[in-house]
Amino acid sequence: NAGVTQTPKFRVLKTGQSMTLLCAQDMNHEYMYWYRQDPGMGLRLIHYSVGEGTTAKGEVPDGYNVSRLKKQNFLLGLESAAPSQTSVYFCASRPLSSYNSPLHFGNGTRLTVT
């Protein structure tokens, strides 16, 4: 049982390049989330999904797109990377069953945009 797995762990992009971050969970969770973590700002929600084929915007969605074609996978895309997107990105999932079920986080992807 791997939990939440994020790939890649590290990535360096040049301004304007594109990339996709992959999140996979093996816990059959309905909800999945993408957060970014910046110093002094905590975790801010980018996009989330309440089920396969559904996505919704979070607090800071601009410059990002997401897709959830399979229940276990949640992809985060950057179409044209900007230095402001330098951050650590965390994927999380949780089950639908209980309102107080905790978020399960992956170990993050550290992205640097030069």
Partner 1 sequence: QQQVKQSPQSLIVQKGGISIINCAYENTAFDYFPWYQQFPGKGPALLIAIRPDVSEKKEGRFTISFNKSAKQFSLHIMDSQPGDSATYFCAASRTGYGQNFVFGPGTRLSVLP
Is residue 1 at the binding interface for partner 1, with CB under 8 A as the rule?
no
Distance CA 32, CA 89 (A): 13
Nearest-angstrom CA–CA distance, 16 and 63: 11
| Binding positions for partner 1, 40-69, rule CB under 8 A | 40-45, 48, 50, 56, 58-59
Residue 27 binding partner 1, by CB under 8 A = no
| Least spacing, CB of residue 16 vs partner 1, in Å | 29
Closest CA to 4 of 113, 110, 108: 108
In this complex, which beta carbon is closest to partner 1, that of residue 16 or of residue 51? 51
CB atoms under 10 Å from CB of 64, counted, come to: 19
Question: Is residue 102 part of the contact set for partner 1 (CB under 8 A)?
Answer: yes
# binding residues, partner 1 (CB under 8 A): 26
Residues 22 and 31: their CA atoms lie apart, in Å, by 15
Please check whether residue 73 is in contact with residue 67, taking contact to mean a CB–CB distance below 8 angstroms: no
Residue with tokens 């890649």: 8
User: With binding defined as CB under 8 A, does residue 84 bind partner 1?
Assistant: no
- Kindly list the residues in this chain that would bind partner 1 in the complex (CB under 8 A): 4, 31, 33, 35, 40-45, 48, 50, 56, 58-59, 90, 92, 94, 99-100, 102-103, 105-108
